[in-house]
Amino acid sequence: MAYVAARGGERAIEQAERLYREPLGEIDAKRVAGIRQSLPWLLDRVMGEASLYDPDMAALALAQAGGDLYEAVLLLRAWRSTQPRLGIATPVTQETLFTHRRISAAFKDIPGGQILGPTLDHAHRLLATSVLQGESLAPVPVEPASQPAPARQPSLAAWQRVEGLVANVLRAEVAPEDIPDITRQPLLFPATRAHALQSLARADTGGVLALGYAAMRGYGNAHPTVNELRLAEAEVMVRHPSGISFSAGRVRVSQAEVTTKGKGGQLDLGFAATFGWNEVKVIAAATLDLNAAAAPKGSPVEEEFVLYHTEPVEASGFCIHFKLPHYVTFQSALDALRDAKAEVWEEADSQTETVPA
C-alpha cells in the first residue's frame, strides 16, 4: 500500500497527541484541586465561556488542555451539550443577589452604597520577583469593617425608573420552560432578547473586549457610563418534583449595566451578565448591547456581527481549521486561473496574427 505511506494517518495523529500530552505529565485529583484553588479567576472565565458552572470540571478541563483556554472551553461545551436538562432554575433578580462588589460610575454615591469588594483595580502591578528567590508571598489578612455591607442591594436602574430617567419596560412573564435556550436552538436574527443575552454570557472574553473596545473608541454610536457593576453570588433555586423549592447551591455571577443618553430624552441601558467574576467581559458586552439597538446593518457593533464573531468555540475552531488540507479547493481555483491565463495568451496571439502588414 505504498500509495498511502506518505500521509501517515492514524498513527501520526496518535503520536502527535502523545507529544502534546507527555510534557503535561500525570493529571490527578491533586492537580485539579490545585488549579481550582490557585486560579479562580481563570476558572470563572472558562466557566462563563463554556456556560457550564462547575469549578471542578473547569479545573479538570484546564489541566487536560494544559491551559489552552479555547481547548478547555470546547472540552466543557462538548460535555455540556449532551447532558440532560433536569430542571429549570427560578430566574434571578438583582435584588436577590448576594453581592460582594457593586460600584456605579454614574453617581458619587447610590442607594445601598458603593462597595469595592475584591479587586486589583487600585493595586500597584508589581511583579513579586522575590517569590522566585524562594520567599513566599502571604496575603495580608483582611480587616473587616465595623459594619458589614448589606448582602442584598437594590438595583440602581430601579431608582432611575422611579425618577423617570429610564424607560419603564414591562417585563413579559414567560414560563421558565418557554425561555428560549441558545444551547438547544439556532441563533436567528433579529435575535430574541434571551438569545442575545445568552450569547453574550457565553461569548469569548477577548472577542467581546475587542469589539466592545472598538465601540468605546468611537466605532459605536453610544459612549458607555457604568451605571452599575456587580460581582455576586446567585442562589440557584430549583423545584423538586414533589413541589418543594430548594437551593441547589450558589454560583458566582457578574453583571454590568452601562448607560448613555438616549434619543427619546431618557437613558438607554445596555446589559450583560455571565457565570463567574469577569468584569472586563460584562462591561464590554454591556457596551455592545447598548450599541446594538441603533447600529447600522453590517457595522461592527450590530447584533448579528457581534454575536456571530464572539462565539469562542466557533471562532477558534474555524481559525484553526485553516490548518487542514485545502488542496482540492486550491486545485480547482488553480485550474480556473491557468485556463483564464491561457485564453488571454491565445487571444493575444490571434490578435497579433490579424494585424495587417
Partner 1 sequence: MSLHDLTRPWAAFSYGFLDAEAKREMRRKLIKAIAVPGCQMPYASREVPIARGWGTGGLQVTLTLVNPTSVIKVIDQGADDSVNAASIRRFLTRVSGARETWDTTEASLIQSRHRVPEERLRADQVLVLQVPNPEPLRPVQPNMSIARQMHADADYARLWLVLYEQIVRAGRIMQGAAYPSMVNGRHVMTPSPIPRWDVPKLNMAQHLTILSAGREKRLYAVPPFTSVVPLAFSDVPYKVEDHAALTCARSGLSGYFMNEIPQAAGGSAYETSDSNLGIKAIRRAGGETVEIAPTWYQGGEFRP
Which residues of the shown chain bind partner 1 in the complex (CB under 8 A)? 1-4, 7-10, 12-13, 74, 77-78, 80-84, 183-190, 297-298, 304, 308, 313-314, 316-321, 324-329, 331-340, 343-344, 347
Between residues 3 and 246, which has the closer beta carbon with respect to partner 1? 3
Q: What is the nearest approach in angstroms of partner 1 to the Cβ of residue 80?
A: 7
Between residues 159 and 308, which has the closer beta carbon with respect to partner 1? 308
Burial category of 11 from C-beta neighbours within 10 Å (exposed 0-12, middle 13-18, buried 19 and up): exposed
Between residues 246 and 322, which has the closer beta carbon with respect to partner 1? 322
Spatial CA neighbour of 277 closest among 13, 2, 55, 21: 55
Q: What is the nearest approach in angstroms of partner 1 to the Cβ of residue 8?
A: 7
Cell numbers for 199, please give them. 450569547
Indicate the pairing of strand 245-261 with strand 225-239.
antiparallel
Between residues 37 and 332, which has the closer beta carbon with respect to partner 1? 332
Residue 158 makes CB contacts below 8 A (sequence gap 6+) with 94, 95
Q: What is the nearest approach in angstroms of partner 1 to the Cβ of residue 47?
A: 15
Cis status, amide bond into 150, omega within 30 of 0: no
Burial category of 42 from C-beta neighbours within 10 Å (exposed 0-12, middle 13-18, buried 19 and up): middle
Q: What is the nearest approach in angstroms of partner 1 to the Cβ of residue 312?
A: 10
Q: What is the nearest approach in angstroms of partner 1 to the Cβ of residue 293?
A: 16
Q: What is the nearest approach in angstroms of partner 1 to the Cβ of residue 301?
A: 14
Q: State the alpha helices, DSSP H only, in the chain.
A: 10-21, 29-38, 40-50, 55-64, 69-80, 156-162, 193-201, 205-214, 279-292, 303-309, 312-321, 327-354
Between residues 80 and 223, which has the closer beta carbon with respect to partner 1? 80
Contact 257, 271 (CB under 8 A): yes
Write the single-letter amino acid at 113. G
Between residues 29 and 333, which has the closer beta carbon with respect to partner 1? 333
Q: What is the nearest approach in angstroms of partner 1 to the Cβ of residue 197?
A: 18
Between residues 82 and 133, which has the closer beta carbon with respect to partner 1? 82
Q: Which whole-number Å values give the CA distances from 228 to 46, 103, 137, 220, in the listed order?
A: 23, 6, 33, 20
Between residues 129 and 354, which has the closer beta carbon with respect to partner 1? 354
Helices 40-50 and 69-80 pack at an angle, to 10 degrees, of 50
Q: How far apart are CA 232 and CA 110, in angstroms?
A: 17
Between residues 159 and 305, which has the closer beta carbon with respect to partner 1? 305
CA 322, 325, 327 angle in degrees (round to 5)?
A: 115
Q: What is the nearest approach in angstroms of partner 1 to the Cβ of residue 169?
A: 24
Q: What is the nearest approach in angstroms of partner 1 to the Cβ of residue 82?
A: 4
Q: What b/e readout covers 218-228, taking b as 16+ CB neighbours within 10 angstroms?
A: eebbbbbbbbb
